[in-house]
Structure 1
Amino acid sequence: MDKKTTGKRLFHYALLYKRTILIALALLTVAVAAELTGPFIAKKMIDEHMMGIESPWVEVVEEDEKTVLYQDGLYKRIAYVTEGESIGEKELQIVQVGRSFYATSEHLPFDGNRKIEGNVLTVTQGTNVVDVEAERLTQQEIFAFYQPEIRPIVVLLAFYVGLLVVAAFFQYGKAFMLQKAANRIIQKMRTDVFEHIQRLPIQYFDNRPAGKIVARVTNDTEAIRELYVKVLATFFTSGIYMAGIFIALFFLDQKLAMITMVLVPIVLIWMVLYRRAASKYNHLIRTRVSDINGMINESIQGMPVIRAFRRKEQLSKEFETLNDEHFTYQNKLLSLNSLTSHNLVFVLRNIAFVVLIWYFAGQSMSAAGLVSIGMLYAFVDYLNRLFQPVTDIVNQLAQLEQARVASERVFELLDEEGEEVNVDALPRYEGNVRFEDVTFSYDGKNDVLKNINFEANKGETVALVGHTGSGKSSIINLLFRYYDIETGKITIDGMDASVLPRQQLRKHMGIVLQDPFLFTGTIESNVSLDDPAISKEQARKALQDVGADRFISKLANKYEEEVLEKGSTLSAGERQLISFARALAYDPAILILDEATANIDTETEAMIQHALNIVKEGRTTFIIAHRLSTIRNADQILVLDRGEIVERGTHDELLDQQGTYYQMYQLQQGKEVSKVG
């Protein structure tokens, strides 16, 4: 499947819940904006308040909360002087040298390397040198100059804490909404997959182990869920986070921000290269997971046979081979992931800090000395924050590739052509069935049915007999339209069956198999299959008609008795009676009994035969039987051999012909006699 097509289909699934996702992204944007104001606030605190006391001070007349008393004079930072405020002639500048602070009445024209000798402060920047007299400040005087800055710093800190609370609230909302959308998407996808499986033709399941199909509905969709819950959430979060950081960097320094933008194409290129390398391993891993699921499912289904024929050791070896292959591919993928995740981010981070040091130290500081400590802190903080989303993105590449491969497998299943669902009700037909020159092949090469011609009228019972592989079940498969024919014609009441909707065609058919399948639920629900059209009374009457109430009356919960998977707590005869009741409750126009009495004891068979004589009235009944004694009263018996009808007639007519049917009957009679003797 085309990778672009897979991406588009995943995107279309996401669009089903775009409102929730857009709300989540809006919440995320607010959270990121709130969180990324931290370095700006820190820069303002450092440059304007902590380092702000080094800005020029002027003498003022009136005292307020921004003034500082120094040597019998009131001083205020020029930044705090309001328009119209009276100021004196004296000026003051605070300079930090080492850990000490000095005050000078002269304005420093530039900043640079500072040195103090006695009361003389020397400032050097390149070839420019200036000497001024300075007086060292006491701790009390230093605290006094910082006093006007305490309240603004506290206000900024409180504002930042408030923003963090807001960010946390919105981050929670973002995570909740994104995960809700992801779970909804996967719920929808699993429903689509399961419903599509119900529409797939029977031949799709002929060559595919059930475990492999189950793996696509469970394991693969779970991997896709991780895509929406973790991978896309991480990509969205990291993308918006990085965008916010780059915007902030551009506000701080456009040139350096442009340099750091180089990280984006590097990460994108790395993602493309990683996907190419990891795709093969992920395909092999998902295939091995399906194989393992298929083998486990088959082993559980065939556990009695495995135990009886002592195949445990051989199956363990086969399973170990699959497990070892899965382990090998997982290790190869692990090695690839180890090379790509932390190593890449570590290298990129070191390169970024080298560029930062070179730019600030080698360019800005030597050129004009205009880079403030707050600016440097903010840039370092943003760079540190930048590599967290980069790390998150790189670490999710493995999960992204696994999800992509799983998506291909799921969409491959969804692309299988299914049977069209037609909800238009088809009136209950009479049940007149006609096969006209029907020839059929499962593989397109070997014909399993050849020129089949027969007619079954309403109310008749038609028996199909023959050796294994003669084509009996194939006739029923065609009647049910599990498969479609290419040669010949099948009609029901004169209507071409190939143009009738499959679902509506089968709605008026009932079938009882040799090995009946019961679902988890109750005895009653296994008859009605939770069809609202079948009431409790109808289901129970069907059970009574086939004589099932004989054993049901002995159960603790009667008709509400719990049935485990496949009806394992019931005997073969009891399961078969429930299966009969199921077919009868749906009141079919055509009833098919496929070796239905093979696993039933003689007494139970007699009860069912009596019930069938009642319910067959007005129905066309097809019976596939090996025990010829069960079809004595059939209106028509078709004897098949290698896909052809070699004899036809009633029981007595066929015995009179003394052909194939006669030989089969005599053989069975002889076996029964030998048993008695």
Structure 2
Amino acid sequence: MRPAQAIHNWQTDQKADPNLPEQKPQYVSAFRALSGYVRPHIWAFIGVFCCTLIAILSDLLQPFLMKIAIDDNLLAGRNDYKGLLTICAVYLGLSLSSLLFTYLQSNLLQHIGQSIVARVRKQLFGHIMKQSMRYFDRMSSGSLITHVSSDTEALNQFFSQVLLSLFRDGLTLLFIIVMMFQLDTTLALYCLILLPIISLIAIAFRSFMRTTYQLARTRLSRLVAFVAENLSGMNLVQVFHQQKEQEKQFNERNGLYFQANIREIRTNVVFGRTFDILSNLSIAFVTWIGGNAVLGQNLEFGVLYAFITYIRQFFQPINTITQQWNTLQSATVAITRIWSVFANKPDITDRKPEHAETQYSEDDWEGPQASLSIDRVKGRIDFDDISFSYEEGVPIIRNLDLHINPGELIGVVGTTGAGKSSLISLLCRFYDVREGSIQIDGTDVRDIPQATLHRLVGLVQQEPYLYSGSIIDNVRMFDDTISREEVIQACEFVGANSIIQKLKDGYDTKLSERGSGLSAGERQLISFARIIVFKPKVLILDEASANLDSHTEQLIQNALHVVSQNRTTIVIAHRLSTIMQADRIIVMSHGEIVEQGNHQQLLEQEGHYLELYQHSQGNIAV
């Protein structure tokens, strides 16, 4: 079952941000969506039910056997050793049966739970991967990490602990009541007075406990988000000596989480001890009522013994359920938060074929490999009167018109905030334009499948991201269809081969997260080789040489000169030396193109570009 099908009703109920503590989520909708994951395991659940039933009956028949041994043998004055031996053998058999079927029930339910949780976790991660950049702008990485790890683990506890308790302890309560009525109806009716008292206590605590557990999980999410943020920016924390300040903020968040946990534990203890007191009072009450009946010879002693045993067993499952109450509340909140993520639809989606207006046939765009072999994709790019803003009323790009010919090398310069990177994000369709359109060879990028578009347009960013794995895998992005020889050839092409060969294991050298151990220039070269391997029709370098030394920058310049031949190339640069040889240079300011032309033409205009050039030469400040 697809997540979209599982949450159809949930999407209509849940619209708010799942991280806001004052929010009142629709718990029923979340569990209704979860039921779709349960249906494929219906026969396994029937097996769990049968095992649970046999285990419960094996436990509850034991006090009844003791009643028979006391009333029909010991107190009756019979010396039936054979009968007592038979009862002992049956008692032992019931104990072994309880052990066996409890083991089977627990293992079968664990297998079901782990299968469902693994499936939810897989689909949750896949759903997050499909989200557009705007989603990650408003969601912290710590919150998403909590959803994938902590919340799915809470869901696992729901199946392994809560659901097991509801199955086993719920049936135990039902059968205990049946057994008590079989022994003595009057005494059983007295015991039923406990049920409305238990219900009133549970209802009184329920709302307060739900708020308590949701508060604890919300504060945990914020704590994890803060830690993740600090770990990713640890270099800045240390450079600016912010350790004490960040530690202070961490202690504040940790203190709030500590208080929420204490409140949660206190609530759970009060709830559980209330039932302990009620259990002891009930046993005393049954002993008093039953004892008077035994002394009056209106009740057999064996029946009273069995009743006291059953009343103890009656409160054991209640205590177990109350102990799982916090787990149930945590799981409920976690399930709601997980489905809140599922309910977020990506802002950027592929248009359906019948709505796409494209000059290419469906076969042309069938899969990434097919798109790379289309000779008709020349690489013409048209920005037709586009406008864009990240927030309503704060325009970043205004009515911009730009037309790039196939194979043209374009440089884009401007001060910070001019809209250079936003322009590239729109071309890669990380965001969609508010007005106008962006076309590649006359085809709106919104009509091109995203997988195809991202193979047509290759992007090298200022801070290249490398994954944990070998250099080979990082260059080919774990795509085994790309041979080792192609990777090595690409690295030689960009001049990275000599650097890689100096490493201990060469191309098989394992990189840690973000490629630590390599310099910024070396990481950039590997990132550039990655682009060469995938052979895009359009190449974008977003400040790709900003962190390179002069020698490495020269390697990039040489490789860029060759790779840009017969390929549309857009270079965003702070270093004007990177784009001085470009066919055309675009100067942007406040989301608009204020100047364009080659290097010499722009100098002669004595405008913005001249100021940028003089600043780069150290003559004046912009």
Fold conserved (TM > 0.5)?
yes
> How many pairs does the alignment contain?
577
How many Å apart are 1:238 and its aligned residue?
0.5
Q: Within 2, Cα distance between the matches of 1:487 and 1:355?
A: 78
Q: Within 2, Cα distance between the matches of 1:22 and 1:651?
A: 76
Q: Which residue among 404, 411, 425 is the counterpart of 2:367?
A: 425
Does the 8 A contact of 1:452 with 1:644 survive in 2? yes
How many Å apart are 1:384 and its aligned residue?
1.5
Q: Which runs of 5+ in 1 are unaligned?
A: 54-144
Identity %: 33
Q: Within 1, Cα distance between the matches of 2:568 and 2:198?
A: 70
- What does 1:347-426 correspond to in 2, within 5 Å? 347-351=278-282, 353-355=284-286, 357-358=288-289, 360-362=290-292, 366=296, 369-418=297-346, 419-420=348-349, 424-425=366-367
Does the 8 A contact of 1:275 with 1:401 survive in 2? no
2:72 corresponds to which letter in structure 1? E
Q: Within 2, Cα distance between the matches of 1:453 and 1:421?
A: 24
How many Å apart are 1:459 and its aligned residue?
1.4
1:290 corresponds to which letter in structure 2? S
Could you say what secondary structure the match of 2:391 adopts? coil
Does the 8 A contact of 1:349 with 1:387 survive in 2? no
Question: Which residue number in structure 2 is paired with residue 105 of structure 1?
Answer: none
Residues 1:607 and 2:555 are matched in the alignment: yes
Q: TM-score scaled by structure 2?
A: 0.88
Question: Which residue number in structure 1 is paired with residue 118 of structure 2?
Answer: 187
Does the 8 A contact of 2:588 with 2:594 survive in 1? yes
Q: Within 2, Cα distance between the matches of 1:460 and 1:265?
A: 81
Does the 8 A contact of 1:421 with 1:503 survive in 2? no
Q: Within 2, Cα distance between the matches of 1:457 and 1:662?
A: 25
Q: Which residue among 195, 200, 221 is the counterpart of 1:290?
A: 221
- What does 1:294-305 correspond to in 2, within 5 Å? 294-305=225-236
CA deviation string 1:4-59 (max 9, x = no partner): 11232333333343333322221111111112110121122222222333xxxxxx
Q: Within 1, Cα distance between the matches of 2:516 and 2:408?
A: 35
Does the 8 A contact of 1:440 with 1:447 survive in 2? yes
Question: Which residue number in structure 1 is paired with residue 356 of structure 2?
Answer: none
1:199 corresponds to which letter in structure 2? K
CA deviation string 1:54-80 (max 9, x = no partner): xxxxxxxxxxxxxxxxxxxxxxxxxxx
Does the 8 A contact of 1:260 with 1:352 survive in 2? no
- What does 1:157-556 correspond to in 2, within 5 Å? 157-351=88-282, 353-355=284-286, 357-358=288-289, 360-362=290-292, 366=296, 369-418=297-346, 419-420=348-349, 424-425=366-367, 427-428=371-372, 429-556=377-504
How many Å apart are 1:356 and its aligned residue?
5.6
Could you say what secondary structure the match of 1:462 adopts? strand
CA deviation string 1:292-323 (max 9, x = no partner): 11211122222222222221111111111111
Change (3 A) 1:179 1:271: farther
Q: Within 2, Cα distance between the matches of 1:590 and 1:191?
A: 33
Q: Which has the higher strand share?
A: 1
Residues 1:633 and 2:581 are matched in the alignment: yes
Q: Which residue among 19, 29, 32 is the counterpart of 2:43?
A: 19
Could you say what secondary structure the match of 1:324 adopts? helix
Does the 8 A contact of 1:199 with 1:421 survive in 2? no
Q: Within 1, Cα distance between the matches of 2:184 and 2:303?
A: 9
Q: Within 2, Cα distance between the matches of 1:506 and 1:454?
A: 21
2:428 corresponds to which letter in structure 1? F
Question: Which residue number in structure 2 is paired with residue 72 of structure 1?
Answer: none
How many Å apart are 1:620 and its aligned residue?
1.3
Does the 8 A contact of 1:211 with 1:290 survive in 2? yes
1:46 corresponds to which letter in structure 2? I
Could you say what secondary structure the match of 2:403 adopts? strand
Change (3 A) 1:42 1:585: same
Q: Which has the higher helix share?
A: 2
Change (3 A) 1:490 1:182: same
Residues 1:153 and 2:84 are matched in the alignment: yes
Q: Within 2, Cα distance between the matches of 1:513 and 1:453?
A: 24
How many Å apart are 1:262 and its aligned residue?
4.2
Residues 1:7 and 2:31 are matched in the alignment: yes
Does the 8 A contact of 2:283 with 2:308 survive in 1? no
Change (3 A) 1:270 1:9: farther
Change (3 A) 1:465 1:198: same
2:143 corresponds to which letter in structure 1? K
Q: Within 2, Cα distance between the matches of 1:549 and 1:25?
A: 63
Could you say what secondary structure the match of 2:418 adopts? coil
2:345 corresponds to which letter in structure 1? E
1:506 corresponds to which letter in structure 2? H
Higher RCO structure, 1 or 2 (CA under 8 Å, sep 6+): 2
Q: Within 1, Cα distance between the matches of 2:476 and 2:42?
A: 40
Could you say what secondary structure the match of 2:617 adopts? helix
CA deviation string 1:185-217 (max 9, x = no partner): 221121122111101111111133212221221
How many Å apart are 1:363 and its aligned residue?
5.7
Does the 8 A contact of 1:271 with 1:397 survive in 2? no
1:565 corresponds to which letter in structure 2? E
Change (3 A) 1:671 1:187: farther
Change (3 A) 1:670 1:379: closer
Question: Which residue number in structure 2 is paired with residue 113 of structure 1?
Answer: none
Q: Within 1, Cα distance between the matches of 2:46 and 2:566?
A: 61
Could you say what secondary structure the match of 2:216 adopts? helix
CA deviation string 1:561-581 (max 9, x = no partner): 010111111011110000001
Change (3 A) 1:309 1:324: same
Q: Within 1, Cα distance between the matches of 2:427 and 2:583?
A: 19
Q: Within 1, Cα distance between the matches of 2:496 and 2:203?
A: 64
CA deviation string 1:465-489 (max 9, x = no partner): 1000000000011111111112111
CA deviation string 1:601-643 (max 9, x = no partner): 2222222222222222232111101111111221221110011
Q: Which residue among 610, 614, 618 is the counterpart of 2:566?
A: 618
Residues 1:665 and 2:613 are matched in the alignment: yes
Does the 8 A contact of 2:386 with 2:400 survive in 1? yes
Q: Within 1, Cα distance between the matches of 2:506 and 2:205?
A: 61
Question: Which residue number in structure 1 is paired with residue 6 of structure 2?
Answer: none
Does the 8 A contact of 1:595 with 1:626 survive in 2? yes
RMSD: 2.1
Question: Which residue number in structure 2 is paired with residue 116 of structure 1?
Answer: none
Q: Within 1, Cα distance between the matches of 2:607 and 2:287?
A: 99
Residues 1:30 and 2:54 are matched in the alignment: yes
Could you say what secondary structure the match of 1:469 adopts? coil
Does the 8 A contact of 1:514 with 1:595 survive in 2? yes
Q: TM-score scaled by structure 1?
A: 0.81
Q: Which runs of 5+ in 2 are unaligned?
A: 1-24, 352-364
Does the 8 A contact of 2:461 with 2:541 survive in 1? yes
